[in-house]
């Protein structure tokens, strides 16, 4: 009996030490540890959207072996979208931006995140922070307007509002997705100075506010697809 108690005490001490070490790991270290334990098939499954019959626009299956929950992604920057019923029709983000009121933007984003949480969303696909470059832009209504400084401070407020809830913000679309016409085929050709002075500041503000994710854009940037563009993804 005495030996059994000693063995139990030793095992308990080891478990406590392990839990303490795990608790001291940064989120990046925990993520790296999980990825290191994944098989190639598990990695591939986790970076592909699956189950388009689900009520979410994006759905990533969980991993029981690694205790990873599924991830539900849903539009968007105007509230719960994608045909979900019994939801709030929020005012357009551009209307909120026109008030120049960061506190109102925070509460606007917070309210959307609360409703998304009720609907089971994990990643709210917003805010949409592309600059309203042309007045006929098809998604100007959900942007923060044409001024990069205003868009930046409102992006910060929006990200903080969304993530005040158990919700991940997704700042989109990086980068230069400033028109809907032929957006999946056209190339936005922009010099570096213009990028950093006009089109990047809102994204930078989102990063500095702690956004949990960023969505790349549908278009090409300087003739390379944005989602596989080494310069804008790995350098900028």
Task: Express each pLDDT in 50-107 by its tens digit.
Answer: 666 677 888 888 888 988 888 899 998 999 988 888 899 999 999 999 999 999 999 9
Report the Cα 130 to chain-centroid distance in Å: 15
User: Considering the entire predicted model, what is its pTM?
Assistant: 0.85
Average pLDDT over residues 215-220: 95
At residue 14, does pLDDT exceed 90? no
Exposed, middle or buried, 150 (CB in 10 Å: 0-12/13-18/19+)? middle
Task: Express each pLDDT in 158-191 by its tens digit.
Answer: 999 999 999 999 999 999 999 898 999 999 999 9
At residue 10, does pLDDT exceed 60? no
């Amino acid at each position: 009996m005495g030996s059994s108690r000693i063995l139990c005490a030793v095992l308990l001490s080891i478990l406590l030490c392990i839990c303490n070490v795990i608790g001291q790991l940064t989120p990046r270290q925990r993520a790296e540890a999980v990825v290191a334990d994944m098989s190639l098939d598990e990695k591939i499954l986790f970076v592909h959207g699956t189950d388009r019959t689900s009520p979410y626009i994006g759905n990533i299956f969980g991993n029981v072996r690694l205790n990873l929950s599924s991830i539900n992604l849903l539009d968007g920057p105007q509230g719960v979208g994608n045909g979900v019923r019994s939801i709030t029709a929020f005012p357009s983000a551009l209307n909120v931006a026109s008030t120049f009121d960061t506190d109102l933007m925070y509460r606007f984003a917070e309210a959307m995140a609360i409703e998304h949480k009720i609907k089971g969303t994990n990643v709210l696909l917003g805010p949409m922070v592309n600059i309203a470059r042309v007045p006929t832009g098809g998604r100007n209504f959900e942007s923060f307007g044409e001024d990069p400084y205003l868009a930046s401070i409102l992006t910060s407020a929006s990200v903080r509002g969304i993530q005040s809830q158990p919700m991940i913000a997704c700042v989109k679309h990086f980068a230069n997705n400033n028109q809907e016409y032929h957006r999946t085929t056209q190339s936005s050709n922009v010099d570096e100075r213009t990028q950093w002075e006009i089109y990047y500041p809102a994204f930078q503000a989102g990063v500095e506010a702690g956004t949990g994710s960023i969505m790349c854009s549908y278009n090409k940037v300087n003739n390379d697809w944005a989602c596989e563009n080494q310069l804008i993804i790995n350098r900028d």
